[in-house]
């Protein structure tokens, strides 16, 4: 979850936009950017392993907050690469639309509470890259320690996918817990464990441990990334992610 900004009048500082990117962790905080802030994220995810197959994705996510506690999401995979045994497929991936609602803010003795919904539309250029389904996520997070430098995030979701197939929809879930530590104002460190029995978040099914970092170089540019390691036999053995985040008040 990095942060970067394009000041609209030369006077805005980083905290004015309060950006809340969705990368690099799978878990997302209840927090969202300030009202009327457009946020653009772009990133690359790779799982270059033989089982269950080489997987690489380059995607973009655009989010906008028309209301203080409402965020609208639009995303698409601009390039996908999939390998399964002897077959390799490249092309444009699916489109995702949805949003997030902040139900309760983070208080001293109570965690923040939110709901997020996303729908995946079968718009890929190749049938093997198609996805059609939906996901609803329950989000909790709470800050601990001096100045709230440690943020603990818990996500749980129900997933419906592969509805474009003749066999019909597949149902599953995704659960994640992440810890985010801010040793300095412009640096965040991440540790996360997440598991899923269906492909989600540009990752094959399985259980993973993730560690990563974000650093904001200037008020207008930030970069984040990290490594994911499979913890179960059917997980991808290793994966990597890297992303950029930009924002502008409209």
Spatial distance between the Cα atoms of 21 and 2, rounded to a whole number of angstroms? 6
pLDDT value of position 174: 93
Q: Which of 168, 204, 214 is nearest to 25 (CA)?
A: 214
For the cut 60, the answer to whether the pLDDT of residue 46 exceeds it is: yes
- Read off the pLDDT band of 235 (50, 70, 90): confident
- Hey, how many other C-beta atoms are within 10 angstroms of the C-beta on 74? 14
**Kind and range of the H or E run holding 234:** none
Residue 15 phi, psi (nearest 5): -70, -15
The percentage of residues in the chain with a pLDDT greater than 70, rounded to a whole number, is: 91
For the cut 70, the answer to whether the pLDDT of residue 12 exceeds it is: no
pLDDT value of position 49: 66
pTM of the model: 0.86
pLDDT value of position 16: 55
List beta partners, residue 22: none
Mean pLDDT of the chain: 86
For the cut 50, the answer to whether the pLDDT of residue 10 exceeds it is: no
The percentage of residues in the chain with a pLDDT greater than 90, rounded to a whole number, is: 50
**CATH number corresponding to 14-249:** 2.40.160.40
For the cut 50, the answer to whether the pLDDT of residue 5 exceeds it is: no
pLDDT value of position 199: 78
- Asked if residue 12 lies in contact with residue 249, where contact means CB atoms within 8 angstroms, the answer is yes
- Asked if residue 79 lies in contact with residue 57, where contact means CB atoms within 8 angstroms, the answer is yes
* CA 11 to chain CA centroid, nearest Å: 30
| Residue in the block written with tokens 């997302």 | 28
Lowest-confidence segment of 47-56, 81-90, 145-154 by average pLDDT: 47-56
109-145 residue pLDDT tens: 899 999 999 999 988 888 778 889 999 999 999 999 8
Residue 128 phi, psi (nearest 5): -70, -15
- Asked if residue 25 lies in contact with residue 176, where contact means CB atoms within 8 angstroms, the answer is yes
- Asked if residue 8 lies in contact with residue 28, where contact means CB atoms within 8 angstroms, the answer is no
19-43 residue pLDDT tens: 788 888 999 999 998 899 999 999 9
Spatial distance between the Cα atoms of 207 and 176, rounded to a whole number of angstroms? 10
Helix/strand/coil for 129: helix
Spatial distance between the Cα atoms of 116 and 70, rounded to a whole number of angstroms? 10
* Mean pLDDT to the nearest integer, 77-88: 82
For the cut 90, the answer to whether the pLDDT of residue 147 exceeds it is: no
pLDDT value of position 51: 58
């Amino acid at each position: 979850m990095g942060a970067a900004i394009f000041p609209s009048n030369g006077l805005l500082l980083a905290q004015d936009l309060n950006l809340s990117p969705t990368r690099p962790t799978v878990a997302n905080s209840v927090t969202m950017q300030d009202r009327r802030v457009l946020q653009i994220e772009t990133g690359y995810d790779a799982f270059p392993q033989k089982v269950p197959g080489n997987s690489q994705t380059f995607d973009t996510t655009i989010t906008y907050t028309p209301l203080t506690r409402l965020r609208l999401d639009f995303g698409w995979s601009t390039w996908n690469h999939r390998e399964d045994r002897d077959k390799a497929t490249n092309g444009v991936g699916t489109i995702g639309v949805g949003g997030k609602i902040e139900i309760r803010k983070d208080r001293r003795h109570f965690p923040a509470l939110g709901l997020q919904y996303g729908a995946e539309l079968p718009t890929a250029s190749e049938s093997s890259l198609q996805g059609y389904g939906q996901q609803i996520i329950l989000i909790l997070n709470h800050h601990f320690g001096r100045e709230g430098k440690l943020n603990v995030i818990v996500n749980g979701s129900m997933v419906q996918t592969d509805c474009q197939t003749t066999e019909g929809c597949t149902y599953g879930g995704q659960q994640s817990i992440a810890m985010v530590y801010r040793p300095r104002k412009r640096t965040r460190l991440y540790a996360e464990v997440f598991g899923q029995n269906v492909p989600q978040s540009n990752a094959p099914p399985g259980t993973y441990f993730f560690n990563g970092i974000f650093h904001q170089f200037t008020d207008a540019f930030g970069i984040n990334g990290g490594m994911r390691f499979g913890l179960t036999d059917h997980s991808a053995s290793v994966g990597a992610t890297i992303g950029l985040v930009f924002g502008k008040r409209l």
